[in-house]
Amino acid sequence: MKKKLLAMVLAAATAMTMLAGCGGGGEKEAPEEKKEASAEAGKEEEKKELDKVKVAYMPNYASLWVVKTAQEKGYFEEEGIEVELTKFDDGPTEIAAMEGGSMDVAYIGPGAHTLAIQGNVDVFCFQQLGDADCVMGLKSKGVNSLEDLKGKKVAYASGTSSETILLRALESVGLTMDDIEPYNMEVTNMPSAMISGSIDACAPWSPNTKVITDELGDDVEIFVTNTDFSDIAADPASWVCMPEYAEKNKDLLVRFTKALYKAMDFGAKEENYEEVAGYVADETKTDVETALGQTTDGAWLTSEELLKQVEDGSVKGYYEIQQENFISAGKVETEVPVEDYVLFDIMEEAGK
């Protein structure tokens, strides 16, 4: 009996030891599981820590070549930023969206800089001088030269670079807006208006220009582009935000600009045009060939070239010439120092 009792005690002890061993083994595995869980949590936390920036853009190469490259190559993420891109048709509409709080920053073309001069927005990064605008007319409507615009129905987009180049074109042949039948419309509507013949001429920008020329062929003629006025005008395209946003988010804007600089260094190289055009085509839902056709719409700079032009005063000069032209055209009433609306300190700090 004693032997049986002793055997039972030993068996119970052995079972407890085995159970304890199993439990101990489980405890040894727990730290590894905790490490994995902690790592995953860390990754999630890291994602959450990215600063989200709502970005307004226009669906063309000039607007997207830098920001889309920065997004696709991971340059924004390297700077702790996540961007959310939203399409707009023109700069004034983008600025209205920022004023309403739905957008944080925006790329604007030359024409919308009137609103920067008037204090509505601050420029925090110069991107390029543009060459995407033109004035064109239909030969079938009797428009074979700029002089033929007199008395014709000419479409333009008020407050944008479309209006700017139209005014310059008219002035170059001694005409004014009073000499034509001006028709204010969104640039994106110009192709259908030209194709249907409801207008005689227009002042579009890329890629709408190509849509019109592809469809109408020899019936349409381009009379002038930005480069035809390079001796008297500068057409900077810029990244802007609300003044209050700039005050509260200087560090974020510096990091955003750093990401743009990295993208400029990549995208400004001709051997990378096709890759960048692919990014643009994906965003705009077009083909790569169409995007590649827009690579002549601006003077693409590297960050080194941009910073050199900031340092030697060239960039400031572009904005001064632009402002002078706006004043001459009656688009801006009073001259203001460029430093009042162009944040050169952001550009300089981002280059350090």
| Mean pLDDT to the nearest integer, 56-82 | 98
| Mean pLDDT to the nearest integer, 30-34 | 52
Q: Do you know the residue count of the chain? A: 352
- The pair of structure tokens assigned to 176 is 């004014």
Q: How does residue 233 score in pLDDT terms, banded at 50, 70 and 90?
A: confident
pLDDT in tens, 334-344: 999 999 999 99
Give pLDDT, residue 13: 42
Q: Report yes or no: 70 and 62 within 8 Å, Cβ to Cβ.
A: no
Give pLDDT, residue 231: 78
| Mean pLDDT to the nearest integer, 178-200 | 97
Give pLDDT, residue 20: 41
- The answer for 179, left when phi > 0, alpha when psi is -120 to 50, beta otherwise, is alpha
Give pLDDT, residue 8: 41
Q: At what angle do helices 250-267 and 303-311 cross, to 10 degrees?
A: 120
pLDDT at position 29 over 50: no
The distance in angstroms from the start CA to the end CA of the chain is: 89
> What pTM value is reported for the model?
0.77
How far apart are alpha carbons 155 and 173 in whole angstroms?
18
Q: How does residue 92 score in pLDDT terms, banded at 50, 70 and 90?
A: very high
Give pLDDT, residue 134: 96
Q: What is the mean pLDDT of the chain?
A: 89
Give pLDDT, residue 223: 97
Give pLDDT, residue 39: 52
pLDDT at position 122 over 70: yes
Give pLDDT, residue 3: 40
H runs (alpha helix) in 151-249: 161-172, 190-196, 208-216, 243-248
Alpha-carbon dihedral angle through residues 262, 265, 267, 270, given to the nearest 10 degrees:
-160
Q: Where are the beta strands (DSSP E) in the chain?
A: 51-57, 81-87, 105-108, 122-130, 134-138, 153-156, 181-184, 201-202, 220-225, 236-241, 298-300
For the chain, give me the number of helices (H) and strands (E)?
16, 11
pLDDT at position 55 over 70: yes
Ordered DSSP codes for 285-332: T--HHHHHTTTTSEEE--HHHHHHHHHTTHHHHHHHHHHHHHHHTTS-
The residues with which 52 forms a beta bridge, in sequence order, are 82
Asked which of 19-33, 73-87, 198-212 is least confident by mean pLDDT, the reply is 19-33
pLDDT at position 105 over 80: yes
Give pLDDT, residue 33: 54
